[in-house]
Structure 1
Amino acid sequence: MQHSDPEITIVGGGLVGLSVALGLLSAGRRVRVLDGADGDARASQGNFGLIWGQGKGWNFAPYANWTMDALAAWPGFARQLKELSGIDVALDQSGGYEFFTDSAEMAGFAAQLEQQAAHLNDRASFEILTGDDLRSQLGGIGPKVVGASFSPRDGHVNPLRFLRALRCSVHVLGGCVTMGATVSTITPQPDGGFLLTLANGQSLGAEIVVLCAGLGSTALARGLGFETQVRPQRGELLITEKLGDRLPFLSSTIRQVDEGGIQIGGTKAETGMDDSESLDVMAGLARHAVTVFPALEGVRVVRAWGALRVMSPDGYPVYAKSAAHPGAFLVTCHSGVTLAPLHASVLAEWILNTSPTPDMEAFDERRFALSHAA
């Protein structure tokens, strides 16, 4: 069943927008999701599928704890998606590694993990392994790997199946998802609510508007009183042929999906809106994979692509309510997969101002103004 008069309109139908929609629908609200054009930059279709906590929030305690809450919520969230959509997102949360070939870099990351652990108290769980320890545990790790960190809480899902499960779940709960609906302007109305004008000239009304449009949010946010400006950051991926043998590990840069193919990634580049692949970066990814696990040397690469991450000024999520125009919300983050269970629960409660209202003050955009003032 779909409602013809949704009270909440979500602008953006990627992982973040759909997760928020799922939470609002589960709370009994009428929700419409407006998704943009096929050619829009879409982080949701280029992500690595990681559910990851290592190092996150090492210098920002609220984010460290928010991430840990999300990791703990993932098993139940995966079950919810399976019940609603019938789709198994292939959650594997049996632990993950960060591999290092440089001792100084490894020492620096270990120090960050210690700071992260101080924020998490007894919820922190990681270990540092030397290269020899690592090779004794995982056969086939290359001799140039000097060590690794490991956390038993990290994991991954099948990213495309996850996106499909979210879409199906939103439909099952009565949400209306409109594809190819590019929002040109959002105009606050004198008596409350908002008027959304689409690129095709259509106008839609909404009592509540939630901006989850990723890199498209900045242009719409100013008119609603928001100041946050997000920027693109390009990452590139290699996809190999499907393998019958399973990798003995999951890492933040090398993972094997449940269907057998291996994804290799982890690059970061400030290239504006250019999401094209670059030969030198792809070659570097291949070298990295073979350095970590030499048995991959003969494996064929069948696809490669670039995608744009959505980055706030400090890299952390922004969850903001408009003081100038009540009923307008801005939701933007980079780790849309990891944080999805909380976007579909706690964040929906925050938007609806339930009692007790979740405290999201640490993620408000006012932190940028405060840091500039300091």
Structure 2
Amino acid sequence: METADVVVIGAGIIGAACAEALSAAGMRVLVLDRGAPAGGTTAGGEGNVLLSDKAPGPELELAVASRRRWPELLESLRAEVGDDLADVEWEPKGGLVVATDEDAVGPLGILAEAQRVAGVEAIELDPSAARAMEPHLTEGVAGAVHYPGDAQLQPVLAATALLAAVRARGGEVRGGAEAHGLVFDAFGSVSGVRLGDETVPCGAVVNACGPWAGHFSVAAGAPIEVLPRRGMVLVTAPLPQVVGRKVYAADYVAAVSSSDVDLQVSSVVESTATGTVLIGSSRQRVGFDEALEVEVLRRLARSAVKLFPVLSGVPVMRTYGGFRPYTPDHLPVIGEDPRFPGLWHASGHEGAGIGLAPATGRLLADLMCGREPEVDPVRFRVDRPAVIAEVRT
């Protein structure tokens, strides 16, 4: 493809969802990634599609729209690219949030009630009901809330399916292609993307670089505050079913919304379709430092055993990590940059990108095409004070 209507920079789940929605709107789309498509943050994700960890507000609205859209989107992908490419291991298995001390029961119930008002199904359970739902759960359960709407999928497969649809519609996906900056016309609007010595003419560019979105925004001359926040995950050897759904401790919600730089660990345990158990969750702001910290892994293991004592002594098969795209106000950046017409951003979803991807892609496509958006875009705008940054010299 020598020209494109839109160039999407970043072939992770958010870039793939934006590219799919834009191509569905009839645009010629070129997707660029400096590495392998879906090989960055998306490959390091657990595949969570969650409503349970979000308080009422704009992110929950985006999550509800995405949760509604995922099954519809997967059905349309099956019809377009075939069952094999559209098989993303979708599991609408629900989630269970657990309070392991009495002090956490009240706040958990208050959050659940607020979520119900916002349209989320949240069923409060006493300890015996929680253990009946998850028999291997610790006996130290003080209370729990069941969220039937929580789901999981395989994130690399999901991104691959979305990109397959882009290709099927005449678009192109290029790995190993790093964008170095933008080209502007005489009026200051985006007119192309620089790839080394090559320039790809286009009418719009989407910065969907995930944790690297801040870096690319600087290269584009329009800085935004998107920073990396590292997380680690342990993967056990395959087991008979120990966990039926996503289960996490109530303090996980606070960790997600925290701005602390220091390491935070909260118990998150879930099974996969292959029988392995994923153990998280850690959050740490260390830049792009990839060094493996044994203490983080120890704390993850201890927190999981506290929630599910049956995991004590189970061998860990591997560990992996990645960088989540973090914004200071914990909301994604979705929209056109007011400094340069034609430059759009879709990033800052932190650990919720898998769950928020379909609605993010639809919202960006609605805004770009001048359609009435399903979700109010105001709180995600680029020019809010927490996100827009000055050029630093």
Please state whether the residue corresponding to 1:125 is helix, strand or coil: coil
1:315 Cα deviation from its structure 2 partner: 1.0
The CA deviation at 1:239 is 0.8
Match of 1:348? 365
1:46–1:184 distance in 2 versus 1, CA, 3 Å: same
State the 1:42 CA deviation.
2.1
Deviation at residue 105 of structure 1 after TM alignment: 3.6
Alpha-carbon distance between aligned partners in 2 of 1:83 and 1:323, rounded to the nearest angstrom: 38
Aligned partners of 1:246, 1:143: CA distance in 2, in Å? 15
Opposite residue 305 of structure 1, the aligned amino acid is: Y
CA contact (8 A) 2:234 2:280 kept: yes
Task: Describe the SS at the equivalent of 1:345.
Answer: helix
Residue of structure 2 in register with 1:325 after alignment? 340
State the one-letter code of the partner of 2:103: A
Structure 1: segments with no counterpart, 5+ residues: none
Structure 2, unaligned stretches of length 5 or more? Answer: 249-267
- Tell me the distance in 2 between the aligned counterparts of 1:33 and 1:41: 14
Partner SS, residue 94 of structure 1 = coil
Kindly provide the amino acid, as one letter, of the partner of residue 169 in structure 1.
Answer: A
Alignment: residue pair count: 364
Q: Who is 1:83 aligned against?
A: 79
Alignment of 1:1-374 (within 5 A): 3-37=1-35, 42-58=40-56, 61-85=57-81, 86=83, 87-118=86-117, 120=118, 123-190=119-186, 192-198=189-195, 200-222=196-218, 226-245=222-241, 247-252=243-248, 253-332=268-347, 333-334=349-350, 335-354=352-371, 359-368=376-385
Cα pair 1:350 1:358 within 8 Å, conserved: no
Q: Distance in 2 between matches of 1:350 and 1:233?
A: 28
The separation in 1 between residues aligned to 2:27 and 2:375, in whole angstroms, is 18
Q: Secondary structure at the match of 1:351?
A: helix
Change (3 A) 1:116 1:348: same
| Contact 1:55-1:109 at 8 Å conserved across structures | no
State how far apart, in whole Å, the 2-side matches of 1:175 and 1:188 are: 23
2: CA distance, partners of 1:320 / 1:183: 20
Contact 1:240–1:301 under 8 Å retained in 2: yes
* Superposed displacement of residue 356, structure 1: 6.9
Q: Structure 2 vs 1, CA of residues 75 and 357 (structure 1 numbering), >3 Å: closer, same or farther?
A: closer
Judged with a 3 Å threshold, the aligned counterparts in structure 2 of structure 1 residues 229 and 43 are, in CA distance, closer, same or farther, namely same
Residues 275, 81 of structure 1: alpha-carbon distance in 2 compared, 3 angstrom cutoff: farther
Shift of 1:328: 1.3
Contact 2:2/2:200, CA 8 A, preserved across alignment? no
Q: TM-score, normalised by structure 2?
A: 0.84
- For 1:336, the aligned partner's letter is G
Query: In the alignment, is the contact (CA less than 8 A) between 1:225 and 1:324 conserved in 2?
Result: no
What's the Cα RMSD here? 2.6
Q: Measured at CA, do residues 171 and 129 of structure 1 come closer, stay the same or move farther in structure 2, by a change above 3 Å?
A: same
For 1:264 and 1:201, the matched residues in 2 are separated by 44
Query: What is the DSSP-based 3-state SS (H/G/I as helix, E as strand, rest coil) of the residue aligned with 2:367?
Result: helix
Are the counterparts in 2 of residues 238 and 285 from structure 1 also a CA contact under 8 Å? Answer: yes
User: Cα deviations across residues 334-356 of structure 1 (Å, max 9, x unaligned)?
Assistant: 22211122134333122222357
